[in-house]
Amino acid sequence: MAMDIILTILNIIQWVFFTYLLITTLYIFIFALAGLFKYKKPKPIDDKKRKYAVMIPGYKEDEVILEVCEDALHQDYPRELYDVIAICDSYKPETIAALKKLPIKVVEVSFDKSTKSKALNKTMEVLGDDYDVALILDADNLMEEDFITKMDESFRAGFKAVQGHRVAKNTDSNFAILDAVSEDINNHIFRKGSRIMGVSSAIIGSGMAFEYTFFKKMMSEVHAIGGFDKEIDLKMCRDGITIEYIEDAYCYDEKVQKAEVFQNQRRRWLSAQIVYFKRFFFKSFVALITKGNVDFFNKAFHTFLPPRILLLGFMGMIFFISLFFYPHPMAILWIKLFILVFITFVISIPRKFYNAQTLKAIISLPKGFFLMFLSLLKVRGANQKFLHTKHTSTGTNVKNIKNQKK
């Protein structure tokens, strides 16, 4: 009798878990399919060229910040219509001195607890209001020469918030390749796929731009220690602001190269996801029912989704068990669900990653899954303190890519 009760409970748990994974898998599969289609950009409604504040916040980023600021000066956009602003938190005096020799603005900041949102708010307080657009980069980001020009096309089409296409700056380790693949999967599903489905693109945290006055006001109400981009992402959709995505506006971002950096980064992301799920998911459901706010609910639903590497890892394990060790009628359902997950990833990964280098990196997937699982167990409190990801990669690979395009 007791065994029957235990088996019944286990069966209920299995069905609940299967239903959760089925719903989330169907969601990303539909958006992955949408991402295969071409997105038609809205036409401009004015011909005004806007003035940009290119803000580059960084914490102890002495190794990369000079290169990033120098690179940012080489846009094909009119030079008098954009300022590069280095936001320096805990930089070495010699780095500050070198930055001040460049034709850029340097804002030094210092806080008891450093956060990106604090740095941006302080900088906009110092800068004043002589800008039309705030463009946010990380201290390791390099832009294509036409990045601002392409972003400006969307602002001329009437958008207040625009996300560029962030891609890998480096693929010099197995973890960097996996990180690069992961970001492009998210680009395909949550940015391009979302826009084709008629909802807002997800923003990433850099390579993004906002109408300046709107951004300044919105950021004054943001006090997040980690995941500030998720907070403004949700608030914009709540308030009816559509976020555009520009697939051909490229911004290069350093990918993690070491396991411990990967784990710390994912721990921070998971913590932010849980925090914003608690804060916004129920509110978004109410807004969907009472106001028909599909965009807000769709964005909040992202906080309900399992991270892609955890989804793939769990489904891979369940597939293996179902195939060889689980003689139960439900095993066929798990196998079919794994196939759907696999197809979703296959159609979401750009063709450029179908090579021997990526195949070699796949060997690190089990380790990545294990580290992600450990991050889930250690997620408590990660959103209450600043976890810095140190950047060291140079832009050599990016320069080669840019030269090939010329």
Q: Is residue 324 part of a domain?
A: no
List, for residues 139-169, the tens digit of each pLDDT value: 999 999 999 999 999 999 999 999 999 999 9
Mean pLDDT (the chain) is 87
Q: Is 222 helix (H, G, I), strand (E, B) or coil?
A: coil
- How many Å apart are CA 200 and CA 225, to the nearest integer? 24
Does position 375 have pLDDT exceeding 70, yes or no? no
Report if residue 262 sits inside a domain: yes
User: What is the predicted pLDDT for the residue at 313?
Assistant: 78
With b meaning 16 or more CB within 10 Å and e meaning fewer, what string describes 249-276? bbbbbbbbbebebbbbebbbbbbbbbbb
Closest of 221, 219, 231 to residue 275, by C-alpha? 231
Are the CB atoms for 131 and 53 separated by under 8 Å?
yes
Nearest-CA neighbor of 183 among 308, 39, 359? 308
Q: Which carries the bigger pLDDT value, residue 173 or residue 252?
A: 252
Q: What are the pLDDT digits (tens) for 297-340?
A: 999 999 999 888 778 877 888 878 877 766 667 888 888 999 99
DSSP letter string over 106-167?
EEEE--SS--HHHHHHHHHHHH-S--SEEEE--TT-EE-TTHHHHHHHHHHTT-SEEEEEEE
pLDDT bucket at 175, cuts 50 / 70 / 90: confident
Distance (Å, rounded) from C-alpha 169 to C-alpha 68?
Answer: 12
Residue 325 lies in a domain: no
pLDDT digits over 182-236, tens only?
899 999 999 999 999 999 999 998 999 999 999 999 999 887 666 788 999 999 9
Nearest to 273 by CA among 301, 245, 241: 301
User: Is residue 8 a part of any domain in this protein?
Assistant: no
Residue 406 has pLDDT above 50, yes or no: no
For residue 198, the enclosing domain spans 35-305+349-381
Question: Has residue 342 been placed in a domain?
Answer: no
Is the distance from CB of 55 to CB of 135 less than 8 angstroms?
yes
The pLDDT of residue 68 is above 90: yes
DSSP 189: I
> Looking at residue 288, which CATH number applies to its domain?
3.90.550.10
Distance, CA of 311 to CA of 308 (rounded, Å): 5
Q: Which residue is it, tokens 């994974």?
A: 21
In this predicted model, what pLDDT tens digit does every residue of 27-67 receive, in sequence order? 999 999 999 999 988 998 999 999 999 999 999 999 999 99
| CA dihedral (134, 304, 296, 231) positive or negative | negative
Establish if 319 belongs to a structural domain. Answer: no
Please indicate whether residue 41 or residue 123 has the higher confidence score (pLDDT). 123
Quote the percentage of the chain above a pLDDT of 70.
85
Specify the number of domains making up the chain: 1
| The pLDDT of residue 379 is above 60 | no
Structural tokens at position 64: 């990369």
Is 168 domain-assigned? Answer: yes
